[in-house]
Amino acid sequence: MRKIVSFMHLSLDGFVAGPAGEMNWIHVNEELFDFAAERTNASDTALYGRVTYDMMEGYWPTAADKPNASKHDREHSAWYNKVNKIVLSHSLKGLQRDKTTVIGDDFVEQIKALKAQPGGEIVIFGSPRATQSLIQHGLVDEFWLFVNPVILGEGMPYFKGIKEHIELKLVKSTSLESSGVVCLHYVKQ
């Protein structure tokens, strides 16, 4: 059975975006990129909500081709272009792109079927609303929470709408010294 692994940046007070959707508070640098790449390279499928997919699709397919492309841009662009992409969206029905499948209606059964297929981990980046829906239906198996050293006070909470008690086990915590970000890796029990 394949696992769905959620990668999410959080503020210390549990928000994934500011009140207007801003994410300029997220601390990213080469240390974080290298750390996250170890996990993404082990997966063969990326899962996105529509908003995050649009953002990713607008940048990553050609990021490596830019003259000033960083090491991370080249590596993540290569990964993005080779993996299968699943998009949870009602508005993108009928979208036809190489290695991209859109799931709208009956997403729970389709995701369960996807998890039952052979293959590597399925990684969901950001996509807070899609992740919340997956959590509500018991479909997320692991959480990689990148806790940033900032308190926002208000914004979009990560665990919004979760109605049931979910037991988690801390597998590892990693402090990324250069950014102050702490990565907490939990598995569902």
DSSP class of residue 97 equals B
List 21's β-bridge partners, or say none: none
What's the pLDDT score for residue 39? 81
The count of structural domains within the chain is 1
Asked, for residue 151, whether it belongs to a domain, the answer is no
Asked, for residue 165, whether it belongs to a domain, the answer is no
Asked, for residue 64, whether it belongs to a domain, the answer is yes
Q: Where are the beta strands (DSSP E) in 20-141?
A: 43-49, 84-88, 100-103, 121-125
- The CATH number of residue 128's host domain is 3.40.430.10
Is residue 100 within 8 Å of 85, Cβ to Cβ?
Answer: yes
Asked, for residue 160, whether it belongs to a domain, the answer is no
Mean pLDDT, range 99-123, rounded to an integer: 93
What's the pLDDT score for residue 93? 75
Asked, for residue 149, whether it belongs to a domain, the answer is no
pLDDT tops 80 at residue 96: no
Residue 67 belongs to domain spanning: 4-139+177-188
Mean pLDDT, range 104-124, rounded to an integer: 93
Mean pLDDT, range 49-65, rounded to an integer: 94
> What count of other Cβ atoms lies within 10 Å of the Cβ of residue 11?
22
Asked, for residue 44, whether it belongs to a domain, the answer is yes
CA pair distance 4, 23, nearest whole angstrom: 23
DSSP class of residue 118 equals S
For residue range 18-27, list pLDDT tens digits in order: 999 999 999 9
